[in-house]
């Protein structure tokens, strides 16, 4: 985006917020449904000061991290296996593709049946939702390594370990990072879904509770926090992805 | 089919049979607790015995799905076509939309419930929002990928802007429009069901949740199987449509 | 006469098992002395690339021996034999200088030393100033120069080139051909150059080996008696035409079969 276009987009967004604020003050928008941005900002500051809210955010963050750390090596390793062992790959491919296309959210009740409403349940569901993205990503990453580069390395006397370190890893990095980023997006959504559906703690639980009690400023403030956190994580991962993948332009 | 291919298909078939057999046998032997995973036959049985209940949830569910579908595909695709055809619009909107993709939209459902209550409107609103941006992005990508040479050729023959859109852009973007429909439809179905699970008075998702609270696992699985059937049929229908549309394009 | 640097004796190469076996090469006998520039031509599928991979040590011959400086080529020996492919096959995430230094990195040569060697090679191939470019920022011809620099960086005695200019446009081919001859005259490597282009084969080489269609056998061994340095004007001369025609007669009859 060119600089002046960035300014236009920013101006439009700010303008929308200003419009919202104005409409509430003029009585055109019911503040019990959609409180003014100023009210929401106020609530946000107060929420940030409350330790129980910070604790809930911590619980959610913990669940997200735990699920991600379990799913990442599992999914990628399975993906590598399926790609490197063509027999296994051919056998399981249609199954993986099918499972990848099935919406995972509908299985949430099953996880509650198995684990009850608990943190392991949320982590397990997060892993379940995320692992398929990583399997598919792992397969794609291995297949993206150009075979000719391996031949070239052999000509220059590279050992197996060198081929993995010097060819496979750099070649796979962009795709692996991209799937990790996508996996994180799905992961965050899955964990929050669990918390809204049924939980005893976590920011999703609080969001559902504030909704039920019609505490709109707190609800909106929490939405802002969650959205900002999710976008921040995504952009951070994207920045790493772009830096490590700069060599792919023009390919 | 060559012999190795036949061999592969046979092994795959055996794999699927083994999985289905395990689903049936393991719960019966107690290796998998029946509460967690009931035998396949019981799940399907629940579908049959309670069919009136399940079938009864379908009209509401389908109604909500269709309404969301119309909004997402009508609005999303139309907007996608407009944005896609302007390089400036694409440059300005795509980065914003791609960043927004990371926002876990599921947190919006409590807001929808406050605004619209437990009825169909909240489901339609939620599913529409949930599916809108990805569908629009697919439509944008489709239009952006169109070769400008087609438009230039048309202009060289004196076609007006309207004629260009009608005779060139629209037919050329048909495959990507169908792709957007396929994605949008899948997301809409999931959106509606999940919303029904989270808070509703009726619908398939509502049924699944109710069976879960009653610890009726065959009932839960029966509902899930039904959802899978719906998404599966949608997928098959739209893939078929996609193939037919692509065939026209290749013939052109 | 100096001892042959590359000796190919009684080499045959078969692929596949009994029923569907394909004989790519049959009874190849070649002795290539130190410092000679040899072209290998032949109809499509005659086993030219297979022959090169045998000399590179990427494969073992089904029968016969391939010797380089007296040693059988049982595995790639990058310090003796360098190889340039049709596609430059540069590592897209490394700059030009890092790509050229890559073989040295595999041998754990110290960073300063290998970068210095790489820069020298880039200068030799006419790419001074482009060291820090990434492959996607280089043209096809430049990428091949980097590939050649990489092949030379370990100072191998033998350079194998498998249709290195095939994916370039004609003008770039001509420029790179002259560049290659300049580099060759400065470094005096033994070069085995596989090509489809008869022009290139005769223009560049001291000697042209002609292979038959599969199974590939040596059907001619042409001594190119044009003076060096070669010039473009020679390609219009009578001698050039006679040499080309001699080779073409073999290939023509093979292609028709």
Return the pLDDT at B251.
44
DSSP per-residue codes, C154-195: T--SEEEEESTTTTS-HHHHHHHHHHHHHHHHHH--EEEEE-
SS3 category, B73: helix
Closest CB from B12, B108, B231 relative to A91: B12
Nearest CA in chain B to A203: B107
Most confident of the ranges B162-176, B210-224, C74-88: B210-224
Please answer whether residues A211 and B111 qualify as being in contact, where contact means their C-beta atoms are separated by less than 8 angstroms.
yes
Is pLDDT at C1 greater than 50 in this prediction? no
The answer to whether A166 contacts C93, with C-beta atoms less than 8 Å apart, is no
Please answer whether residues C33 and C197 qualify as being in contact, where contact means their C-beta atoms are separated by less than 8 angstroms.
no
Q: What does the pLDDT look like over A3-60, one tens digit per residue?
A: 888 888 889 989 999 999 999 888 888 888 889 899 999 999 999 889 989 999 999 9
State how beta strands C81-84 and C190-194 pair. Answer: unpaired
Interface test with C, best of A146, A147, A157 (most C CBs within 10 A): A157
Closest CB from A114, A210, A234 relative to B99: A234
Contacts of C83 in chain A (CB under 8 A): 155
Most confident of the ranges A143-157, A180-194, B172-186: A180-194
Closest CB from C58, C91, C105 relative to A155: C58
Nearest chain A Cα distance for residue C103, angstroms = 6
The region of weakest confidence among B33-37, C32-36, C95-99, C240-244 is B33-37
Nearest CA in chain B to A114: B36
The region of weakest confidence among A159-168, A189-198, B164-173 is B164-173
Chains touching chain A through at least 3 C-beta pairs below 8 angstroms are B, C
Interface test with A, best of C76, C79, C121, C152 (most A CBs within 10 A): C76
Nearest CA in chain A to C134: A247
Return the pLDDT at B110.
93
Q: What does the pLDDT look like over A148-191, one tens digit per residue?
A: 899 889 888 889 899 999 999 999 999 999 999 999 999 999 99
3-state SS, one letter per residue, for A140-186 = HHHHCCCHHHHHHHHHCCCCHHHHHHHHHHHHHHHHHHHHHHHHHHH
DSSP assigned state of C209: E
Is pLDDT at A125 greater than 90 in this prediction? yes
**C8 close contact with A: CB closer than 8 A:** no
The region of weakest confidence among A226-240, B155-169, B176-190, C109-123 is B155-169
Q: What does the pLDDT look like over B218-231, one tens digit per residue?
A: 999 999 999 999 99
Task: Report yes or no on whether pTM surpasses 0.80.
Answer: yes
Is pLDDT at B162 greater than 80 in this prediction? no
The answer to whether C89 contacts A250, with C-beta atoms less than 8 Å apart, is no
Closest CB from A148, A158, A170 relative to C89: A148
Please answer whether residues A114 and A121 qualify as being in contact, where contact means their C-beta atoms are separated by less than 8 angstroms.
yes
Q: What does the pLDDT look like over C149-187, one tens digit per residue?
A: 999 999 999 999 999 999 899 899 999 999 999 999 988
Confidence band of B67 (pLDDT split at 50, 70, 90): very high
Nearest chain C Cα distance for residue A147, angstroms = 10
Is pLDDT at C45 greater than 90 in this prediction? no
Nearest CA in chain C to A148: C89
Chains touching chain B through at least 3 C-beta pairs below 8 angstroms are A
The answer to whether A109 contacts B212, with C-beta atoms less than 8 Å apart, is yes
The region of weakest confidence among A147-161, B1-15, C34-48, C83-97 is B1-15
Task: Give the B window 103-132 contacts with A, CB below 8 Å.
Answer: 103-111, 113-115
Is pLDDT at C108 greater than 80 in this prediction? yes
Is pLDDT at C3 greater than 70 in this prediction? no
Return the pLDDT at B227.
93
Contacts of C101 in chain A (CB under 8 A): none
Between CA A6 and CA A15 the distance in angstroms is 14
Return the pLDDT at C41.
93
A169-197 vs A216-244: helix axis angle to the nearest 10? 170
**A166 close contact with C: CB closer than 8 A:** yes
Percent of chain B surpassing pLDDT 90: 38
**A160 close contact with C: CB closer than 8 A:** no
Nearest CA in chain C to A162: C106
Nearest chain A Cα distance for residue C247, angstroms = 31
Q: Averaged over C241-253, what is the pLDDT?
A: 88
Nearest CA in chain A to C90: A149
Between CA A74 and CA A181 the distance in angstroms is 16
Q: Averaged over A214-224, what is the pLDDT?
A: 93
Across the A:B interface, residue pairs with CB atoms under 8 Å apart total 129
Percent of chain C surpassing pLDDT 70: 96
Confidence band of B250 (pLDDT split at 50, 70, 90): low
Kindly provide the residue ranges of all beta strands, DSSP E only, lying in chain A, ordered along the sequence: none
Interchain touch B–A (≥3 Cβ pairs closer than 8 Å): yes
Residue B106's nearest CA partner among C42, A208, A110, C136 is A208
The answer to whether A166 contacts C56, with C-beta atoms less than 8 Å apart, is no
Nearest chain C Cα distance for residue A169, angstroms = 11
Q: What does the pLDDT look like over A61-101, one tens digit per residue?
A: 999 999 999 999 999 999 999 998 888 888 888 888 888 88
Return the pLDDT at A92.
86
Return the pLDDT at A249.
66
Confidence band of C257 (pLDDT split at 50, 70, 90): low
Contacts of A166 in chain C (CB under 8 A): 91, 102, 105-106
Burial annotation A163-199 (CB, 10 A radius, 16+ → b, else e): beebbbebbbbbbbbbbbbbbbbbbbbbbbbbbbbbb
The answer to whether B102 contacts A234, with C-beta atoms less than 8 Å apart, is yes
Return the pLDDT at C200.
93
Return the pLDDT at A251.
44
The region of weakest confidence among A225-234, B89-98, B183-192 is B89-98
Neighbours of C208 (CB within 10 A): 25
Task: Give the C window 90-129 contacts with A, CB below 8 Å.
Answer: 91-94, 102-103, 105-107
Confidence band of B1 (pLDDT split at 50, 70, 90): low
Cα pseudo-dihedral C120, C125, C128, C129, rounded to 10:
-130
Confidence band of C113 (pLDDT split at 50, 70, 90): very high
Percent of chain A surpassing pLDDT 70: 98
**Interface pTM (ipTM) of the complex?**
0.87
Q: Averaged over B189-207, what is the pLDDT?
A: 92
Contacts of A214 in chain B (CB under 8 A): 114
Return the pLDDT at B252.
43
A216-244 vs B109-116: helix axis angle to the nearest 10? 150
* Encoded tokens for B142: 């489709």
The answer to whether B231 contacts A230, with C-beta atoms less than 8 Å apart, is no
Q: Averaged over B111-128, what is the pLDDT?
A: 92
Is pLDDT larger for residue A93 or for residue C96? C96
SS3 category, B158: coil
Cα pseudo-dihedral A126, A129, A134, A139, rounded to 10:
160
């Amino acid at each position: 985006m060119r600089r002046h276009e960035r300014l236009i987009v920013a101006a439009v967004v700010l303008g929308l917020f200003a419009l919202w604020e104005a409409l509430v003050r003029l009585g055109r928008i019911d503040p019990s449904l959609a409180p003014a941005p100023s009210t929401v900002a106020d609530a946000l500051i107060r929420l940030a000061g409350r330790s129980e809210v910070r604790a809930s955010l911590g619980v959610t963050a913990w669940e997200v991290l735990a699920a991600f750390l379990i799913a990442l090596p599992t999914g990628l390793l399975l993906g590598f296996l399926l790609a490197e062992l063509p027999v296994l790959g051919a056998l399981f491919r249609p199954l993986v593709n099918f499972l990848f296309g099935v919406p995972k959210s509908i299985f949430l009740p099953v996880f509650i049946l198995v684990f009850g409403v608990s943190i392991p349940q949320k982590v397990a569901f997060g892993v379940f939702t995320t692992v398929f993205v990583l399997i598919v990503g792992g397969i794609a990453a291995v297949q993206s390594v150009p075979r000719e580069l391996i031949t070239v390395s052999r000509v220059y006397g590279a050992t197996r370990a060198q081929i993995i370190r010097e060819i496979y890893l750099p070649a796979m990095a962009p795709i692996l990072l991209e799937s990790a980023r996508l996996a994180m997006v799905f992961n965050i959504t899955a964990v929050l879904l669990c918390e809204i559906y049924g939980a005893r703690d976590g920011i999703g639980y609080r969001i559902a509770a504030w909704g039920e009690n019609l505490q709109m400023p707190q609800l909106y403030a929490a939405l802002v926090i969650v959205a900002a956190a999710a976008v921040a994580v995504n952009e951070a991962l994207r920045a790493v992805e772009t830096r490590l993948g700069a060599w792919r332009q023009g390919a | 089919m060559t012999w190795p291919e036949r061999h592969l298909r046979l092994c795959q078939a055996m794999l699927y049979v083994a999985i289905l057999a395990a689903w049936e046998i393991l719960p019966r032997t107690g290796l998998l607790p029946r509460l967690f995973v009931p035998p396949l036959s019981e799940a399907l049985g629940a579908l049959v015995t309670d069919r009136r209940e399940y079938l009864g949830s379908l009209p509401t569910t389908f109604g909500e799905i269709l309404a969301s579908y119309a909004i997402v595909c009508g609005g999303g695709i139309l907007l996608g076509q407009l944005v896609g055809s302007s390089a400036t619009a694409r440059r300005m909107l795509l980065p914003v939309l791609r960043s927004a993709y990371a926002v876990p939209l599921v947190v919006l459902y409590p807001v929808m419930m406050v605004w619209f209550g437990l009825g169909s409107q909240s489901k339609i609103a939620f599913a529409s929002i949930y599916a809108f941006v990805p569908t629009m992005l697919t439509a944008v990508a489709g239009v952006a990928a169109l070769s400008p040479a087609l438009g230039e050729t048309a202009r060289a023959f004196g076609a007006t802007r309207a004629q260009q859109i009608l005779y060139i852009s629209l037919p050329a973007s048909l495959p990507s429009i169908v792709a957007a429909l396929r994605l949008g439809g899948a997301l809409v179905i999931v959106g509606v069901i999940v919303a029904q699970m989270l808070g509703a008075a009726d619908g398939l998702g509502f049924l699944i949740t109710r069976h879960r609270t009653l610890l009726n696992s065959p009932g839960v699985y029966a509902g899930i199987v039904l959802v899978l059937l719906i998404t599966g049929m949608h997928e098959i229908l739209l893939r078929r449509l996609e193939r037919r549309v692509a065939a026209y394009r290749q013939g052109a | 006469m100096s001892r042959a640097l590359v000796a190919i004796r009684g080499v045959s190469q078969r692929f596949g098992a009994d029923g569907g076996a394909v004989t790519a090469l049959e009874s190849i006998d070649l002795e290539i002395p130190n410092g000679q520039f040899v072209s290998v031509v032949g109809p499509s599928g005659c086993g030219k690339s297979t022959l090169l991979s045998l000399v590179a040590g990427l494969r073992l011959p089904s029968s016969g021996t391939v010797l380089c400086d007296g040693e059988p080529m049982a595995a790639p020996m990058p310090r003796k034999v360098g190889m340039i492919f049709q596609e430059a096959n540069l590592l897209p995430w490394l700059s030009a200088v890092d790509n050229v230094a890559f073989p040295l990195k595999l041998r754990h040569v110290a960073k300063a030393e290998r970068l210095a060697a790489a820069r020298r090679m880039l200068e030799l191939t006419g790419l001074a100033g482009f060291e820090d470019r990434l492959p996607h920022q280089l043209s096809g011809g430049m990428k091949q120069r980097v590939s050649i620099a990489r092949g030379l960086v370990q100072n191998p005695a033998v350079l194998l080139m498998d249709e290195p200019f095939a994916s370039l446009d004609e003008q770039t081919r001509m420029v790179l051909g002259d560049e290659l001859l300049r580099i060759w005259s400065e470094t005096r490597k033994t070069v085995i150059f596989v090509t489809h282009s008869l022009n290139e084969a005769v223009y560049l080489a001291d000697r042209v080996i002609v292979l038959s269609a599969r199974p590939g056998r040596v059907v001619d061994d042409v001594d190119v008696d044009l003076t060096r340095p070669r010039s473009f004007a020679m390609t219009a001369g009578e001698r050039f035409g006679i040499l080309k025609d001699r080779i073409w007669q073999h290939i023509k009859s093979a292609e028709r079969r």
